[in-house]
Structure 1
Amino acid sequence: MSITTYIYEDLKARLSSSQELPVQLTLESLADFYEVSFSPVRSAVNRLIKQGLIEKGDDRRLTPKATRKRSQTKEHDQALPAPPQDMYELIANDFVRLSLEGNAIDLREEATAKQYGISRSALRIIFNRLAGAGLIEHIPRRGWRLRPFLQKDMQAFLEVRELLELKALDLAKSHLVDADLQAILAGNILPASKKEHPQIDNSLHAYIIEKADNIYIQDFFQRQGKYYGILFDWEEMDRQAAIETVEQHQAILHALLEKNWSVARKALSFHIQNNHPVLSKIRPPADA
């Protein structure tokens, strides 16, 4: 069972019976409760909306929909599903937290497999996926090592990213489609109240790189961007950081739709260099 399916089944059971919801019915509260990002919560909620168990008002507020099927007695309560054991997500999240402490840690397969209660062969598959994402690296004849988060590394990445993404924008100008840009803009929504979390669509960057059609630019982001992509997704759990992301995306997209390339370049450059208020404050010991 995927984490999205688990969230969907758990909420469906609660909404279809007399059991109380664990938290307020907002993406932010549900993400905090299930300890996940907004993506699986949003997918699960959308399925429940389609099934008529949740209503989305004009102000985008989510409310349980009154239904005759909703039991009024606990004897008809549905059993709640057991949480899934996605060991890759579990280990990846643990390693991200360790990485943010800024220490390079040697990882032993036998000890780590025992810690998570899985076989060494299963762990090795997970380690290879994490190595592909840049979160850990394999040291010949020595095993595995966790990649520490360092401010200087992030700044170096952002400098190269800015150069290549601005070049990609120059190459992509004549290939951008207004309907595509409008769709991305519609996915970046500021919260209507202090209780809501903004909706973020990060696909703008991948869209520009795709339309640039330059294999060397694509190669950089495919190989070097995965690790920071994981960290940037984690950072967007912070509400204020997410709001700033939406505002900056909107500024870029409006400029692109107006074909104001100089403004779009400035907005994109500002977004890349100033969109990490949480990560930029982290000062781990190894980065001192």
Structure 2
Amino acid sequence: MNQDPLPKPLPYHLMEQMRRAIIAGRLPAGVPLREQALQIEYGCSRAPIREALRLLERRGLVTHEPRHGFRVREASATEIQQIYQVRALLEKQVVLGLLGRVTQNLIAELRAANATVKTHRAAGDVERYIEANTAFHAVLRSHAPNEPLGRALDVVYEMAEPMRQALLRRSLPTSPAAEQHDDIIRLLEADRVVEAAEAMDRHVFTGMPVALRGIALARGANDRRDSAD
């Protein structure tokens, strides 16, 4: 007999609601997260709100300072560089894990996943594009299982998600990711795994200059708004 899934505990439900708001930009980087205001918005007591904020802090989406409370993480240029450096290192290691494991099934799955990336890019659907892009990288991980590596990548993806959403809302039509995926697939099909790993490293770093320009523009806009207040 089919049963409806059990509802999530309230702190996890609240965490998901706030996570979506952060990723979509409804709660922008740097904005304070006042517990009293969140209580009113979500119609619940302070305890589950505080636990939800702690969960978001562990995911790297919010920060906390004693006596100042929680706020949406505002990444510095240095932190953005660090995120890209760590992700490039991890993604390269995923591909190196495919040494001796490249199969026709892997190539077929990668091509199908990348076709979906291209479809959503053409449609201008940022959310589905990111899901498809993540699915492409997940195919690589599934053919070279490495749980510690996968867990580390999950954390990096989560920290970068609001930034990716904001950048792609401006630059999705010109994203070169799908074509770079094609290059990686061709190298893997030729069993040139080490070269594919180097291509993956370059692929990840492609986005860093765009991210750094984006944060500079956002800070300039914030400075102009503050000076006008």
Aligned match of 1:248: 180
Greater shift after overlay, 120-129 or 145-154?
120-129
2:70 paired residue among 144, 168, 182:
144
* Pair 225,177 (structure 1): closer, same or farther in 2 beyond 3 Å: same
1:172 alignment partner, SS class: coil
Q: Distance in 1 between matches of 2:162 and 2:142?
A: 20
Q: Distance in 1 between matches of 2:122 and 2:151?
A: 40
Q: Which amino acid aligns with 2:173?
A: Q
The C-alpha deviation readout for 1:175-218, integer Å capped at 9, x for no partner, is 344313312311223359x9734864422333434544444433
Q: Distance in 1 between matches of 2:141 and 2:162?
A: 18
1:145 alignment partner, SS class: strand
Aligned match of 1:92: 19
1:135 paired residue among 38, 53, 61:
61
* Pair 202,93 (structure 1): closer, same or farther in 2 beyond 3 Å: closer
Aligned match of 1:111: 37
C-alpha contact (below 8 Å) 1:162/1:272 kept by paired residues: yes
2:110 paired residue among 184, 194, 197:
184
2:156 paired residue among 224, 241, 247:
224
Larger radius of gyration: 1
Superposed displacement of residue 89, structure 1: 5.6
C-alpha contact (below 8 Å) 2:15/2:52 kept by paired residues: yes
Superposed displacement of residue 138, structure 1: 4.2
TM-score normalised per structure 2: 0.66
Q: Which amino acid aligns with 1:285?
A: R
Superposed displacement of residue 90, structure 1: 5.2
Aligned match of 1:167: 93
1:174 alignment partner, SS class: coil
Superposed displacement of residue 148, structure 1: 0.7
Mapping of 1:1-288 within 5 angstroms? 91-96=18-23, 97=25, 101=29, 103=30, 105-114=31-40, 116-119=41-44, 120-139=46-65, 143-189=69-115, 190=118, 196-197=123-124, 200-237=132-169, 238-241=171-174, 243-275=175-207, 278-282=210-214, 283=216, 284-285=218-219
2:152 alignment partner, SS class: helix
Superposed displacement of residue 161, structure 1: 2.1
* Pair 187,166 (structure 1): closer, same or farther in 2 beyond 3 Å: closer
Q: Distance in 2 between matches of 1:187 and 1:215?
A: 22
* Pair 188,165 (structure 1): closer, same or farther in 2 beyond 3 Å: closer
Q: Which amino acid aligns with 1:256?
A: L
The C-alpha deviation readout for 1:39-97, integer Å capped at 9, x for no partner, is xxxxxxxxxxxxxxxxxxxxxxxxxxxxxxxxxxxxxxxxxxxxxxx865653344343
* Pair 130,187 (structure 1): closer, same or farther in 2 beyond 3 Å: same
5+ residue gaps, structure 2, are 1-12, 224-229
Q: Distance in 1 between matches of 2:37 and 2:27?
A: 18
Percentage identity across aligned positions?
19
- The alignment's C-alpha RMSD in Å is 3.6
2:98 alignment partner, SS class: helix
Higher relative contact order (CA 8 A, sep 6+): 2
Superposed displacement of residue 165, structure 1: 2.3
TM-score normalised per structure 1: 0.55
1:149 alignment partner, SS class: coil
Q: Which amino acid aligns with 1:95?
A: I
The C-alpha deviation readout for 1:247-283, integer Å capped at 9, x for no partner, is 2222212221221224412321221000356533221
Superposed displacement of residue 239, structure 1: 2.7
